[in-house]
Amino acid sequence: MKAVAYIEPMKVEVQDIEYPGLELKDGPGVNPANVGRQCPHGVILRCVSTNICGSDQHMVRGRTTAPPGLILGHEITGEVVEVGRDVEFIKQGDLVSVPFNIACGRCRMCKEGHTGVCLNVNPDRPGSAYGYVDMGGWQGGQAEYVMVPYADWNLLPFPDRDQAMEKILDLTMLSDIFPTGYHGCVSAGVGTGSTVYVAGAGPVGLAAAASAQLLGASVVIVGDMNADRLAHARSFGCETVDLTQSGALPDKIEQIVGEPVVDAAVDAVGFEARGHGKDAGEAPATVLNSIMEITRAAGKLGIPGLYVTGDPGGVDAAAQEGSLSIRIGLGWAKSHSFTTGQCPVMRYHRQLMNAILRDKVQIAKAVNATTISIDEAPQGYAQFDSGVAEKFVIDPHGLVKA
């Protein structure tokens, strides 16, 4: 079958690889302790849609320790074509959303709802994801088929296949960026009448902006340096701040909401942040420090943007191990609350599915979903890296309507 593999910085290619089975086999990035792991609790999916994520782009830029040959892809929606012996409730033919978090459903973290830090799927540390560096080695879903373990626990079946296929470009966002953006807003305390600042107008930032609107925010402000992405944010009702322009961020916030602070802020950028200003270079703590500056006293910060423990391209030795110069004193003085880490997708995906199916939100429009074939994946990665205001959805089998 075809699959998208990371080769080296700024290069991916479509390869022919072995069809998956209900066993975790050795390969690039597979933890030795996971090799041979049997998965009778798993299923094989035919991938209906599988998206390119900004987190994938970090690896493709060479900003992680991802090994050559790693099969990419953690945003998966598919049809069940094979069911393992121990699967009881998921059936062949089900059309399902796959949370990007791989979780066992049995450990303390899973039972407490912290599925982003499952204790049993990654021998290195808590938490796992498909096709991602240091996450245990579960094969990615930017492929024609993929194996999903613990299927009864992990998978979200859509109630009506025909209805789901009509809205598949919206529903494909349930695997990651819609719940992730929503989680950023919920953990930042967004509610009715809130004023909200979202740092970053990439797909997760746009998903967070749409989520803030869904949660009842009165004003959603999106900050970025990319004019096309800011224009897209304005297309669905957001205010915007162009961070290439001179002037302090609190002053720009005050021009919009009447005071230099907001109720809630979301970091949808992560560790490749740049300083503010037209010619600013990379400054990985910029977003964290700026959202502390503009969030009101006793406010909350949602931080779904990715931060890593290993960054070969970091600006200095500290950044290369994920140590950043954060103004924790400012956050302490303002009694801020911080929430970081992988979004626990299962906490939100059923509710967000219902919002999509009942036309309460148009998330595909908000992130400008664009369908490409699996053979076009390398071009999709290149275009995404150039900063286009699009969310690329790979359609491996030609099943997604134009």
How confident is the model at residue 402, as a pLDDT?
A: 60
Beta-bridged to residue 264, according to DSSP, are 196, 300
Distances 211 to 74, 186, 345, 377, 381 between C-alpha atoms, Å = 21, 9, 14, 28, 25
Expressed in angstroms, the distance from the first to the final Cα of the chain is 24
Q: Rounded to an integer, what distance in angstroms lies between the CA atom of residue 261 and that of residue 253?
A: 7
How confident is the model at residue 279, as a pLDDT?
A: 85
The pair of three-digit structure tokens given for residue 263, joined into one six-digit string:
């109720």
How confident is the model at residue 169, as a pLDDT?
A: 98
Q: Vertex 13, ends 7 and 17: CA angle to 5°? A: 95
The 3-class SS string of the chain reads CEEEEEEECCEEEEEECCCCCCEECCCCCCCHHHCCEECCCCEEEEEEEEECCHHHHHHHCCCCCCCCCCECCCEEEEEEEEECCCCCCCCCCCEEEECCECCCCCCHHHHCCCHHHCCCCCCCCCCCECCCCCCCCCCCCCECEEEECCHHHHCEECCCHHHHHHCHHHHHHHHCHHHHHHHHHHHCCCCCCCEEEEECCCHHHHHHHHHHHHCCCCEEEEEECCHHHHHHHHHCCCEEEECCCCCCHHHHHHHHHCCCCEEEEEECCCCCCECCCCCCCECCCHHHHHHHHHEEEEEEEEECCCCCCCCCCCCCCCHHHCCCCCCHHHHHHCCCEEEECCCCHHHCHHHHHHHHHCCCCCHHHHHCEEEECHHHHHHHHHHHHHCCCCEEEECCCCCCCC
How confident is the model at residue 158, as a pLDDT?
A: 98
**Whole-structure pTM over 0.95, yes or no?**
yes
Cβ proximity of 352 and 179 under 8 Å: yes
Domains, the chain: 2-176+344-394 (3.90.180.10), 177-340 (3.40.50.720)
| Predicted confidence pLDDT, tens digits, the chain (402 residues) | 999 999 999 999 999 999 999 999 999 999 999 999 999 999 999 999 999 999 999 999 999 999 999 999 999 999 999 999 999 999 999 999 999 999 999 999 999 999 999 999 999 999 999 999 999 999 999 999 999 999 999 999 999 999 999 999 999 999 999 999 999 999 999 999 999 999 999 999 999 999 999 999 999 999 999 999 999 999 999 999 999 999 999 999 999 999 999 999 999 999 999 999 888 899 999 999 999 999 999 999 999 999 998 899 999 999 999 999 999 999 999 999 999 999 999 999 999 999 999 999 999 999 999 999 999 999 999 999 999 999 999 999 999 976
Q: Rounded to an integer, what distance in angstroms lies between the CA atom of residue 48 and that of residue 166?
A: 13
